[in-house]
Amino acid sequence: MSQLKNYLSAAVRIALGAVFIYAAVLKIADPVAFAGSVAAYRILPYFGSYLTAAALPFVELACGLLLVLGYRVRSGALIIGVLNLVFIAALASAIVRGLDIDCGCFKQGGEKTTPWAALARDLLFLAMTWFVLKAEARRGRGPEAGAGPEAPAS
């Protein structure tokens, strides 16, 4: 039973990581279009949109890789959780303000994902993050708690 649970948590962890790697690569490929998507939320000032478009996909990529590799999972998952909360807040504000925009979550300028659909998807990702963190905490209480190489996580 606990073996099955281990497999399941590993599957969720890798799936979540893969989603973030996929999202990151699409954005890194077209930073100008992603900056446009960020600007469409009308939250950040002009340069802020570009700064976000430059930095955010790489943070997503790093966290996605950590989750897939199973290295420093707690940190990676926590960042992904916070990012998801930020995305949810941005989407909710877009809905409240009645902005008819594309989510900009994955492929830029492709077919449009409405804020509602994106919100539902982000909630699913948040639940997956929660699951990964729980599984990680369970594992952390095991015999080799806190053990691990001391190399910087990157």
Partner 1 sequence: MKKNWLGTALEILLIVALSASVGIAWNRTLLTSAWRGEVAARAEAAPAANPANAVAEPMPLGLMQVKELLDAKQAMLLDARSTTSFAEGHIKGALNLPLEEAGRNPSRPLQVKVPAEASLITYCNGFSCHDSMELAKILVKAGYANVYVYEGGFPEWRDAGYPVAKGGS
Which parts of this chain interact with partner 1 (CB under 8 A)? Answer: 28, 31-33, 35-37, 39-40, 46-47, 50-51, 53-59, 61-63, 66, 72, 74-76, 78-79, 99-102, 104, 109, 112, 146, 152-154
Both structure tokens of 18: 């893969």
Q: How far is the CB of 68 from partner 1 (least distance, A)?
A: 14
Please state, as a whole number, how many other Cβ atoms lie within 10 Å of the Cβ of residue 14: 16
Q: How far is the CB of 1 from partner 1 (least distance, A)?
A: 27
Q: What angle do CA 4, 126, 144 make, to 5 degrees?
A: 45
- Beta carbon nearer to partner 1, 8 or 109: 109
Q: What are the contacts of 80-83 at 24+ separation with CB within 8 A?
A: 80/16, 80/20, 80/125, 80/129, 81/126, 81/129, 81/130, 81/133, 83/56, 83/59
Rank residues 1 and 147 by Cβ distance to partner 1 and give the closer one.
147
Kindly tell me which of 124 and 153 has the beta carbon lying closer to partner 1: 153
Closer Cβ to partner 1, 7 or 58, answer by number? 58
